[in-house]
Structure 1
């Protein structure tokens, strides 16, 4: 509002006061070093809220623009916290990220008045979600630090462990030791639930280790888990197991060992036999030193012709969107993402398709894909993840509006 000079000149004194109060209603982030912020927190006896962000993080930008600027958020923060922002890739950021296990963005961190971390949250959230997270950080019964303390003091009953593991998973913290304790205490009936499957996926990084006892337990009891979730959910988790399994084979120097492990892997994933060799050839090409870019590109192209993974087809298409302007390559990428959608239509590949079509200036088709992506996000409970798609749809509608206006003139 203040950028409009004509309007600015016409504001009354009351108008200036109201304008100023609106601007000050947003979160006011402290300046200075981390030590200076901790000193202020100690002096005022207030906990600290830290927005750990990067400049390239889309959800970070969305929160800064749409959430941190809201009056209810600004007033709440001023009353309850010392607020601070830190770029995790500049200045004190890298050391701060390492010390506080910041591996995803945005990470929202909470410290007591003495600078000890008490709680954290990962990912963007709306105003109500942010305030709810802040309330949890202020509640000793819900703080991450409180759960850690109880565990260290010997709390081991199953109900506590389940809640504790959920908190650790939400906070992106290491779950291995408490999970092992939980696993030892549970029966097969208790293990074979959707709740346990979520904990299993979190502690194994989505079953990335084929040899892990937890992964092997899932494979042995696959039908039971399909009953309590769905065949699609379990298949998606096991696709990760297969993908990491091939990487394991590619890294093996002993040919007999690699052959034996490949056989074991394909016995579990027989549908992958058609693509296995081409995928393995591509992965091995990426591991060569120095890398032969032409060889990698050729192997990748051959693999994508038979790829059965919607995620890899989607990623390949997204890489083209981000890095290429060649119409021929973009058309090829559109083919990949269309195959990805055929295998498993979801928010991620529909989003990629929308962005790719937008870059190709096919705005009408891009609009259809963007709308489907947003619908899929809602159906998958991923409304917050679709922020960038909603912004894309606004841009698409603007382009279509411009074209419509030009056609009428």
Structure 2
């Protein structure tokens, strides 16, 4: 199974303009109708017609915004729900050389809205009642009309209106169940500062971690070393891990240590383009503060420095050449990598070639390079890397010798942790190599370990193909 989630491929801005034009024209009441007046005029109209207002805070560069314009706003079910109950207005939060008079006329109101409601993610939907009072907030695109309509329904009920419920908190309500609910609502509304404040109030009242729900809450809302949950996770890792999963508290603590103690120094090394960047001072400082994690800090920091140099000296010039459709100068890239990090330069260049040929779909060269890379450096590959390389070979390489090698990489990917998705890769490779009986057995175990319904269905479909003797791969 493909393990990399692909982002939505959004259509060009032209598509957005076409969808918006149709909505503005109000074609047969199909799709969301957009108001064209000023903010003052829309407020007055909403009050006169006793309608709520939904404000689409968007930018011209926002991919999810374009998705909504193209695939959700024009739908009849979207229009049927919103046009009856809401006035809809689109507000552009960036500036371009193509901004028309209307966009420019909204700029003052936009700035005030941006400041008042801390708009920092797009699309953000602000919803106001007929009197112009903000009652709800929702962030992010939806894949279909049904989920977008659900957001609109939340705005109509005081029990699900974010800002209405937030007033209860600000007025002093501190019941634990309410605090849990409010922190989750604030996080969903992308009101991060308020979410952390409310979560802190809830965590302060905890006396134990006998509840998986409480442990998960602490993990979700611990983002800095100053948060109350940080000390709890630092000092009670075994107790929390027993509830949320082995290694989860340590991973959270290390991510915070990285953000606060390591990454600022790494950014300085990156900006200075330091030759043979020395991370030892960063490691020493962080290890002195958190001695129980000294080994992890050293490994994490060295890996981050490696990735920094790889990005600057290998990936960036390689990507620029690919974008310009020019030949990659591997000799120049190798020289740059050796100048910065002589110890790891050859590995970086080898990894870069694998990535380049994979991205350009040059499968013969990819096969050659990935085998060379894994033979020399594969012992250091993470489970995710092992799985990704194995799956890419399974899908695209015709040489069964290479596929046989990928089988070993795949088996190693779940040797210590029975990840069902990684097991699925292994089963697929077994099937391609003609070891279908063994593949069926592994795939069955992967299904047993899967809890997500959609993933289980997909794995079952693959298993059914194996049992019928059908290919689970495509061949050009």
- Global fold match (TM > 0.5): yes
Alignment partners' CA distance in 2, 1:178 and 1:27: 35
1:276 to 289, 301, 308: 301
SS in 1 for 2:252: helix
Alignment partners' CA distance in 1, 2:361 and 2:263: 30
2:256 to 238, 241, 253: 241
Alignment map for 1:345-356 (pairs within 5 Å):
none
Alignment partners' CA distance in 2, 1:55 and 1:300: 43
Match for residue 39 of structure 2?
34
Match for residue 436 of structure 2?
none
Alignment partners' CA distance in 2, 1:130 and 1:160: 25
SS in 1 for 2:163: helix
Q: Which moved more, 1:274-283 or 1:127-136?
A: 274-283
Match for residue 147 of structure 1?
165
How far the C-alpha of 1:298 sits from its partner, in A, is: 4.2
Change (3 A) 1:162 1:268: same
How far the C-alpha of 1:110 sits from its partner, in A, is: 0.8
Match for residue 187 of structure 1?
207
SS in 2 for 1:27: coil
Match for residue 10 of structure 1?
none
Alignment partners' CA distance in 2, 1:186 and 1:238: 19
Alignment partners' CA distance in 2, 1:382 and 1:39: 46
Alignment partners' CA distance in 2, 1:226 and 1:300: 40
Match for residue 179 of structure 2?
161
Match for residue 17 of structure 2?
none
Change (3 A) 1:159 1:275: closer
1:122 to 131, 134, 139: 139
Match for residue 92 of structure 2?
87
* Aligned residues between the structures: 328
Change (3 A) 1:250 1:21: closer
2:75 to 70, 73, 81: 70
TM-score w.r.t. the length of structure 1 is: 0.61
Alignment partners' CA distance in 2, 1:304 and 1:42: 68
2:122 to 101, 105, 110: 105
Alignment partners' CA distance in 2, 1:300 and 1:148: 55
Match for residue 240 of structure 2?
225
Alignment partners' CA distance in 2, 1:99 and 1:285: 41
Alignment partners' CA distance in 2, 1:38 and 1:227: 53
Alignment partners' CA distance in 1, 2:39 and 2:379: 48
How far the C-alpha of 1:151 sits from its partner, in A, is: 1.4
Alignment partners' CA distance in 2, 1:136 and 1:203: 24
How far the C-alpha of 1:166 sits from its partner, in A, is: 1.4
Point out where structure 1 has 5 or more consecutive residues left out of the alignment.
1-19, 287-292, 307-312, 359-364, 384-399, 405-409
Alignment partners' CA distance in 1, 2:120 and 2:343: 31
- For 1:278-329, what per-residue CA distance to the aligned partner results, in whole angstroms no more than 9, with x for missing partners? 635877999xxxxxx97999469959969xxxxxx9xx99x989xx98989x
1:216 to 213, 231, 234: 231
Q: Is the 8 A contact 2:59 2:93 kept in 1?
A: yes
Alignment partners' CA distance in 2, 1:265 and 1:303: 31
How far the C-alpha of 1:140 sits from its partner, in A, is: 0.9
Alignment partners' CA distance in 2, 1:41 and 1:304: 65
How far the C-alpha of 1:154 sits from its partner, in A, is: 1.8
TM-score w.r.t. the length of structure 2 is: 0.54
Match for residue 315 of structure 2?
none
RMSD value, Cα: 5.1
Change (3 A) 1:88 1:380: farther
Alignment partners' CA distance in 2, 1:340 and 1:76: 54
How far the C-alpha of 1:201 sits from its partner, in A, is: 4.3
Alignment partners' CA distance in 1, 2:199 and 2:165: 14
Q: Which moved more, 1:52-61 or 1:90-99?
A: 90-99
Alignment partners' CA distance in 1, 2:174 and 2:195: 14
Alignment partners' CA distance in 2, 1:300 and 1:102: 45
Q: Is the 8 A contact 1:249 1:262 kept in 2?
A: no
How far the C-alpha of 1:236 sits from its partner, in A, is: 4.9
Alignment partners' CA distance in 2, 1:303 and 1:225: 40
Alignment map for 1:6-25 (pairs within 5 Å):
24-25=29-30
Change (3 A) 1:271 1:181: closer
2:287 to 259, 262, 281: 262
Alignment partners' CA distance in 2, 1:51 and 1:132: 16
Alignment map for 1:327-346 (pairs within 5 Å):
342-344=382-384
Change (3 A) 1:343 1:72: same
Point out where structure 2 has 5 or more consecutive residues left out of the alignment.
1-24, 96-102, 269-279, 312-332, 397-402, 404-420, 426-449, 456-472
Q: Is the 8 A contact 2:56 2:89 kept in 1?
A: yes
Alignment partners' CA distance in 2, 1:101 and 1:171: 11
